Amino acid sequence: MDWFIDPVFWMALMQIIAIDILLGGDNAVVIALACRHLPEAQRRKAIMGGVIGAIALRIGLLFFAMQLLALPYLKLFGAGLLLWIGIKLLLPEPEETHEIKPGSGLIAAIKTIIVADAVMSLDNVLAVAGAAGGNLLLVSLGVLISIPIIVWGSQLVLKLMDRFPQVVLLGGALLGWIAGGMAVGDVAVAEWMPAVVGLKYLAGALGAALVIAVGVLMRQRATAQETA
């Protein structure tokens, strides 16, 4: 129980909580986007199912986060996947909901949450592992603390999306921003990418613009086909 009175332990725990708050917002947006078309009764199930799957993945990633981040083209692949998820989440819900099997929307939302969280969690996991300094108790507490932060944050974003539909575009733009920064951070890309000040922010802005442009275009086409 020496950790209970160890100021270093509590300082590290405070750092981990700050990381969870700062980086957990991205995951909350993904969950809210994936669940926004679900009935109110299924939203809680989708949130909990997605969070449980995502947390399980984070625990697995903790054991080899450094090795994963060093693999070439991994971040590039993840960035492309995240761009597609962002665009897909901006599309309107099909009107033929009576043809969808019960629970299929719930399962699809959970899968989307887990896949997106797996792509976005590498940096998060690495930051928590670094702050914990190899302390298994701190790592475990970091994972547990992230659960209520993500769940509460996703419910808040969902309420905002229900009241202000424009928030959906901001959520898609956020995923594009993350994808752009992730792409230029890949070890393979860094070898031939020129050293430009603010390159990560420029790539993030381009990623956000790409998601919004393609997402809005595809949404307009889908709406036109439904009304034709």
Q: Where are the domains of the chain?
A: 2-227
Sign of the CA dihedral with 32 first, then 124, 19, and 173 last = negative
Burial class, 110, CB count within 10 angstroms (exposed 0-12 / middle 13-18 / buried 19+): buried
The two tokens of residue 78 are 């993840």
CA distance 104 to 30: 18
One-letter amino acid of 204 = G
Q: Using the structure block, give the residue that is written with the tokens 């009241």.
A: 163
CA distance 31 to 157: 9
The answer to whether the predicted template modeling score (pTM) of the entire model surpasses 0.85 is no
Name the stretches of the chain with pLDDT < 70: 1-6, 18-25, 62-70, 93-104, 120-134, 136, 194-197, 228
Q: What is the pLDDT of residue 101?
A: 44
Q: What is the pLDDT of residues 106-161, one digit of tens each?
A: 888 888 888 877 776 666 666 666 566 657 677 777 777 777 777 778 888 888 88
58, 102, 103, 147 from 45: Cα distances, Å: 20, 13, 10, 14
Q: What is the pLDDT of residue 40?
A: 80
Burial class, 138, CB count within 10 angstroms (exposed 0-12 / middle 13-18 / buried 19+): buried
